[in-house]
A and B are shown apart, each in its own frame.
Chain A
């Protein structure tokens, strides 16, 4: 996925190049292109670290500090996760990134029928505060921050994190939690949603409002263009839909009378890096500029630091192939090069075997070395935004900016992101694009090195075919489920039933009205109400979402 469309003549010369985002590329660029595009240094570029930040958020960028890399953890039982956490901290990691199992992500307790076969499989199983206490025992939560990969029940996990910290004697003002908390992208591309769109956004708004007032060190939202791109969106749409989603959240909180300057500085993003190298670089530069402009012009934010497009540019899973998997090592290197040339602050790379298995230690190390090499060996730290001033890159950045704005205007025309997702406009567009792209790959219209298109496969089958590795799966351990369920039974047995009932009732009242549900959730967590019980209250009050047509 992500390959540009090339039209070649009989001799193999390229006659036409069209990027996924819809931009056509000329054979050569010169100063006249910059002129034609209306390029103006001050308006469109500026110095590194100066508005509109096209070149970089910081004046020195990698010269002062190399990019940070992330490693996810969390699987099985909270106790095992706790051991892993302590190991990573001992190895110098300064932040934790927590994954949760599917039942937790979907608001079900480990003994729910739908949880069968899933407890602890893709992440940690959390049923109540007791599990969080086990997971974060002995961790200095005033010094170590935690990213929580959780969305539909992010409010519950945030509340539980606070409750656990308080149990350990920390104050909520000291702790730092970064839940992913981007429900709108779930509805487009990841599928871990529960409630209808408007209610999902209300919960995000509640968590942001609460963070502003009570959790000053926490970052309440990480908007993921990443998954939207994985579902079929073009690079321009990835940014456009990401920003439109950000607007939906900002507007929700702004309507409560809170100044966007008080919270936008703590938004972060998660963007994808696969595809055409130049398209990605132009995308990120244009994104930095547009974000700063949008916050300044639409929301009156003036503080420089709050205009920054902070985030993780990485991943690239959709670009990898099952065929000839070692090619993915090189692909990863090129994607990472694009991220480095784009000045990514934080990055992560899918490992070469990720298309078909859980990364082995060896492949994880290769990814790490790939990232290290760029920073420490081949010169990506030497100077800020080295491609600035290039006729091609600056023209392309302006064109990408135009495309992104165009896509955002279309969302506005449909009534904004909430309406666009409720009605299915985005999902339909993205599904159709994914389908058309896949057809193009299978017909040979788009080419990936090492992959033989379906239409040509008959011949290659005779000559041996392409080598395809077999898939390896996340292991599933029955013991995790047994452990979680017995722990859950114990919690239900020993807690104060009256306090659970009262706290859930208070939660229900807040959910039905306009009061912020966060303090009520904290109370429920302290009472050892379970994830299933708290989500159950929301299910009763909000109902469950049903998807609109995608076709």
Chain B
């Protein structure tokens, strides 16, 4: 059949009630400009909604944007839900307001890529691509 090129599909999701989405939006634009297909699911998503979206869209990466400081409990829960729902080959990445000291904790949980505030577009794109090298 006609060959189509493989594109990385990334879900950019904002879990919870926080409405600061400037970061999520500009990262979505940057990933698009880097040739990725970005599924943008908008504000105020519950974890159930994020998982369901990841299933239906067979995303390669779930990219959480968290500015509320709740990244540890959210990621812990989401990693467990991903396993429960058979999303073993989907990577989890998180960006936003993340203290450096939490990075090892997140990595231990199974978060594959972490982008604290101030990460450049170049770093984020490279980080995403590296997940599939």
Query: Interface of A with B (CB < 8 Å)?
Result: 102-103, 105-106, 108, 113-115, 117-118, 121-122, 186, 189-193, 230-232, 322-323, 356, 431-432, 434-435, 438-439, 442, 454, 457, 468, 470-474, 476, 546-547, 550-551
Give A170 to B74 CA distance when docked, in angstroms.
44
B121–A439 touching, CB < 8 Å:
yes
Contacts A191-B18, A230-B22, A550-B25 given: A454-B99 contact, CB under 8 Å?
no
Q: Which residues 86-133 of B have a CB within 8 angstroms of A?
A: 97-101, 116-118, 120-123
* Chain A residues closer than 8 Å to B20, beta-carbon distance: 190-191
The chain B residue with its CB closest to the CB of A432 is B29
If A431-B25, A439-B121, A471-B100 are given as contacts, then 13 extra A-B residue pairs at C-beta distance below 8 Å, sorted by A number, are A117-B70, A117-B74, A122-B68, A191-B21, A191-B43, A192-B17, A231-B22, A435-B29, A435-B30, A438-B26, A470-B100, A471-B97, A473-B69
Give A117 to B29 CA distance when docked, in angstroms.
29
Contacts A118-B68, A431-B29 given: A454-B120 contact, CB under 8 Å?
yes
Contacts A117-B73, A192-B19 given: A473-B46 contact, CB under 8 Å?
no
Give A546 to B46 CA distance when docked, in angstroms.
15
B122–A442 touching, CB < 8 Å:
yes
* Chain A residues closer than 8 Å to B21, beta-carbon distance: 191
**27 A–B contact pairs at CB < 8 A?**
A102-B18, A105-B17, A106-B17, A114-B46, A117-B68, A117-B74, A118-B17, A121-B68, A121-B69, A186-B19, A191-B19, A191-B21, A192-B17, A231-B22, A434-B22, A434-B26, A442-B120, A457-B120, A470-B101, A471-B98, A471-B100, A473-B99, A547-B42, A547-B43, A550-B25, A551-B25, A551-B40
The chain A residue with its CB closest to the CB of B118 is A322
Give A122 to B122 CA distance when docked, in angstroms.
32
Q: Which residues 55-76 of B have a CB within 8 angstroms of A?
A: 68-70, 73-74
Min C-beta distance of B53 to chain A, whole Å: 14
Min C-beta distance of A443 to chain B, whole Å: 10
Give A211 to B120 CA distance when docked, in angstroms.
47
The chain A residue with its CB closest to the CB of B100 is A470
The chain B residue with its CB closest to the CB of A152 is B19
Min C-beta distance of B54 to chain A, whole Å: 19
* Chain B residues closer than 8 Å to A439, beta-carbon distance: 30, 121
Min C-beta distance of B64 to chain A, whole Å: 14
Min C-beta distance of A319 to chain B, whole Å: 14
Min C-beta distance of B33 to chain A, whole Å: 9
**Range of interface residues on B (Cβ < 8 Å):** 35 or more
* Chain A residues closer than 8 Å to B22, beta-carbon distance: 189, 230-232, 431, 434
Give A547 to B25 CA distance when docked, in angstroms.
12
The chain A residue with its CB closest to the CB of B28 is A551
Interface presence of B83 (CB below 8 A) = no
Give A438 to B25 CA distance when docked, in angstroms.
12
The 10 closest A-B pairs by CB, nearest first: A191-B19, A473-B69, A102-B17, A454-B120, A435-B26, A471-B99, A435-B29, A117-B70, A431-B25, A470-B100
The chain A residue with its CB closest to the CB of B97 is A471
The chain A residue with its CB closest to the CB of B48 is A113
A117–B19 touching, CB < 8 Å:
no
Min C-beta distance of A322 to chain B, whole Å: 5
Give A546 to B40 CA distance when docked, in angstroms.
13
A118–B100 touching, CB < 8 Å:
no
Contacts A191-B18, A471-B98, A473-B97 given: A106-B122 contact, CB under 8 Å?
no
Give A551 to B29 CA distance when docked, in angstroms.
7
Give A442 to B123 CA distance when docked, in angstroms.
11
A106–B44 touching, CB < 8 Å:
yes
* Chain B residues closer than 8 Å to A118, beta-carbon distance: 16-17, 68, 70
Min C-beta distance of A124 to chain B, whole Å: 15
Indicate which residue in A189, A193, A431 contacts B26 across the interface (CB closer than 8 Å).
Answer: A431
Indicate which residue in A323, A432, A438, A476 contacts B121 across the interface (CB closer than 8 Å).
Answer: A438
Which interface residue of A190, A470, A550 has the most chain B CB atoms within 10 A?
A550
Give A546 to B118 CA distance when docked, in angstroms.
29
The chain B residue with its CB closest to the CB of A428 is B25
* Chain B residues closer than 8 Å to A434, beta-carbon distance: 22, 25-26
Which interface residue of B22, B32, B122 has the most chain A CB atoms within 10 A?
B22
Min C-beta distance of B96 to chain A, whole Å: 10
B32–A551 touching, CB < 8 Å:
yes
* Chain A residues closer than 8 Å to B69, beta-carbon distance: 121, 473-474, 476
The chain A residue with its CB closest to the CB of B98 is A471
Give A476 to B25 CA distance when docked, in angstroms.
27
Give A551 to B69 CA distance when docked, in angstroms.
27
Which interface residue of A439, A471, A551 has the most chain B CB atoms within 10 A?
A471
Min C-beta distance of B115 to chain A, whole Å: 13
